[in-house]
Amino acid sequence: MKFYKRKFIKIIGFSTLALLLPIKVILAAGKKIINPNLSKEQKNIMFNEGTERPFTSELLKEKRKGFYHCANCGNKLFASTTKFDSGTGWPSFSEALPGAFKTKIDKSFGMERVEYHCAKCGVHHGHVFNDGPKESGKRFCNNGLCLIFKPE
Ligand SMILES: [Zn+2]
């Protein structure tokens, strides 16, 4: 009798713990902070799928030749030749480098959007839309704070 009671308490205790854990914490478990110098705002975007305020990124006016890397792990994501001015207020690209990202369907805010994240470290970068101006037809809408530009 005593044995059963203990087991029962154990099961209850475990499921309560699982319920208390916010879903976002569970989802974020696969992502790791690699760059210890990330700001609070960068972490909010990368780990909580936040969005930076539009027209705030320094990268909007970046026109030099080079590559855009993940600010967390350094993974090479975009070539400057695919960058374009979408007028949305976020750095925009018509194509990502092969294998740079993985995607998932994001149903937050009553919309169905395709979220993409770094294939190497898993952090959130932005959303990809099918209204791009170039042959690919894609528009990668990327938070500037998730990117580091390295000129060639
Ligand atoms: Zn990364």
- Catalytic option among 70, 118, 121, 141: 141
pTM of structure: 0.80
What's the whole-number mean pLDDT along residues 105-124? 96
* Nearest one of 151, 143, 138 to 71, comparing CA atoms: 143
Q: Is 141 a catalytic site residue?
A: yes
Q: Tell how far the Cα of 12 is from the centroid of ligand 1, in angstroms.
A: 38
Question: In terms of pLDDT, which residue wins out, 16 or 135?
Answer: 135
143: Cβ contacts below 8 Å, ≥ 6 apart: 45, 51, 52, 57, 90, 91, 124, 125, 126
Is residue 26's pLDDT more than 50? no
What's the whole-number mean pLDDT along residues 33-56? 96
Is residue 12's pLDDT more than 90? no
* Pair 141, 90: CB distance under 8 Å: yes
pLDDT, the chain, mean: 88
d(CA 143, CA 54): 9
What's the whole-number mean pLDDT along residues 95-119? 96
Amino acid 124: pLDDT: 97
